Structure 1
Amino acid sequence: MIFFLSKFVKLFSNIELKIISKNSQKYLSDKMSSQTSDFNLIEKGKQNSAQRAVDENIDHTTKIIGIGSGSTIVYAVERLAQRVNQENLDIYCIPSSFQAKQLLTKYNLKIADLETFTSVMIGIIDVTIDGADEVDKDLTCIKGGGGCHLQEKLIAFCAKKFIVIADFRKNSTKLGQNWSKGIPIEVLPSAYRLVQDRIQKLYEGSAVLREFSGPGRGKAGPVITDNGNFILDWIFNSNEDNDWKSINQEIKLIPGVIETGLFIGLAKMAYFGNSDGTVTKISSE
């Protein structure tokens, strides 16, 4: 009797384990499917915003384009390369980073830099297209998640028209609504502690030295920009009604600060690719 009871309990346990295993597999499968779907919607949003921005702002009169950095800009360069080949456009591209330069090389687009031109001035670039970490209702942007905001700001500043492309997650009413990783501040390595301390005394929040983390992310230690500097990420209080123009000016007056990731009064328009396939266009003009 005990033998048969033991066999029954073992059989029941095996059946129960199989049911739990199947339910777990279904849960994991559903979760992965949902994550894949969300990822595809985000990527499609990036692609749609990039393609529309390129198609609406680049034509045969466009000669020099500033190319930003990041995942969304890949789709802009792809579309630009298609149009250059199809329409025989004669365009030079100024990259904002090593990543952007590699991307332009991959698509055989003509590459230049600001030093190529005899008179570097505002308006030397016809259009600059770049992504953003977050954009508010006034088209004030946080940029620099990839650590290239100094070069990105240079080509944005020198452009007749600076255009932001992004997916729907980056479209906010106010900064900090969707982006929680702070505002990047590029600093001299020897001054990062001074700047860190000053920012934390002036404002709420914390200024965190950006460091490599995780396998495959490079050697341990601070992230080094293309210009050989460090980055502090200022995690600010998003509940405050911040005067970003004044804050930006105050931060830049701190000795050791090279540039901030606040782009104020630079963007002329922004394109956001939505999850339903549409594109929202916001213009400052």
Structure 2
Amino acid sequence: MATLTVEDAKKLAAYTAIDTHFPADAKVVGIGSGSTVVYCVDRIVEKKAKGEIPDGCVFIPTGFQSKELIINGGLNLGAIDGYPVLDVAFDGADEVDSDLNCIKGGGACLFQEKLVAICAKKFVLVADYRKNSEKLGAQWIQGVPIEVVPLAHAKVSADLKAMGALNVTLRLGGKAKAGPVITDNCNTIIDAHFGAIADPVELATKIKMLVGVVEVGLFIQMADAAYFGNENGSVTAKFNDGSVKLIE
């Protein structure tokens, strides 16, 4: 069997998750952010073309990227303040541990991602094999993304260092942007690397309590299932009851 590329592994995970968890009678569905979610939307558009998705189904974005995916896919666009209860939400992750806790926010959309996820009756993660980890921070060494009010970034950076962060960085824009990344909510992002995180629940709570922090990219005890596309063409599915299934 040929070894899959990372992109093919992402696509495999996304297609499997959509085929397994998209309700036949879905009314409201959340669409996350990131490169793997692109394939989720591709699959949804395919299913809609086949008449497998109700015409009235509304899709809720977690930021600019997913909003564009929904619009360009010809899907019905909604907003979380108009649809605070979702049947299911699909999203990517930067790293997922054995308890389905995950780090998110590599694309700077963590606040809206968490809002959509918490409003969903079912939250499903999709990723490639590189994101499948035993402990958070073991493989994703870029740090935990933290959305911070701009005025407080220096204070919060100092707080994080005092908490034991190995590296704290204010995320800057690309070559065409002078200054920090600005989120869809007009805030800044700090990435704080703590190494392998022994207790993500405790760390998430401590960071969230810091004055100036809007949201933390630690999604704790939120996911119902996670799908990882593997290099060999299989999919590893993990569930919040601790069970693991290999789909070949």
TMscore range, shorter length: over 0.9
> Per residue, is there more helix in 1 or in 2?
1
| Counterpart residue number, 1:276 | 232
Question: Match of 1:246?
Answer: 202
Q: Partners of 1:96 and 1:165 in 2: how far apart?
A: 15
State the identity %.
44
SS at 2:238's partner residue? Answer: strand
Aligned to 2:245: none
Aligned match of 1:231 in 162, 186, 189?
A: 189
Number of aligned pairs?
238
Which residues of 2 match residues 182-221 of structure 1 at below 5 A?
A: 182-214=143-175, 218-221=176-179
1:159 pairs with 120, 123, 126, which one? Answer: 120
Q: Which has the higher contact order (CA 8 A, sep 6+)?
A: 2
Residue aligned with 2:39, SS? helix
| Larger deviation, residues 158-167 vs 87-96 | 87-96
> Aligned residue for 2:93?
132
Counterpart CA distance in 1 for 2:81 and 2:214 is: 20
Cα contact 2:136–2:200 (8 A) shared by 1:
no
1:9 maps to which residue?
none
Indicate conservation of the 8 Å contact 2:103/2:217, yes or no. Answer: yes
* Cα distance per residue 1:258-285 (max 9 Å; x no partner): 0000000000000000000100000013
Amino acid in the other structure paired with 2:185? N
Partner of 1:144: 105
Task: Give SS of 2:134's match.
Answer: coil
1:3 equivalent in structure 2 = none
- In structure 2, the gaps of 5 or more residues are 242-248
Map Cα deviations across residues 225-260 of structure 1 (whole Å, 9 max, x no partner).
00000000001122xx52111111111111100000
Residue 200 of structure 1: SS of its match in structure 2?
helix
Out of 36, 40, 46, which is 1:72 matched to? 36
Cα RMSD, aligned residues only: 1.4
Provide the C-alpha distance between the structure 1 equivalents of 2:165 and 2:86, rounded to a whole number of angstroms. Answer: 37
Give yes or no for contact 2:165–2:192 (8 Å, CA) kept in 1: no
- Identify unmatched segments of 5+ residues in structure 1: 1-36
How far apart, in 1, do the equivalents of 2:143 and 2:52 lie?
42
TM-score, scaled relative to structure 2: 0.93
- Point out the structure with max Rg over C-alpha: 1
Quote the offset at 1:59 in angstroms. 3.0
The runs of at least 4 aligned residues of structure 1 exceeding 3 Å deviation read none
| SS of match in other structure, 1:173 | coil
Q: Distance in 1 between matches of 2:220 and 2:23?
A: 27
- In the other structure, the counterpart of 2:136 is 175
- The CA distance in 2 between the partners of 1:68 and 1:228, in whole Å, is 19
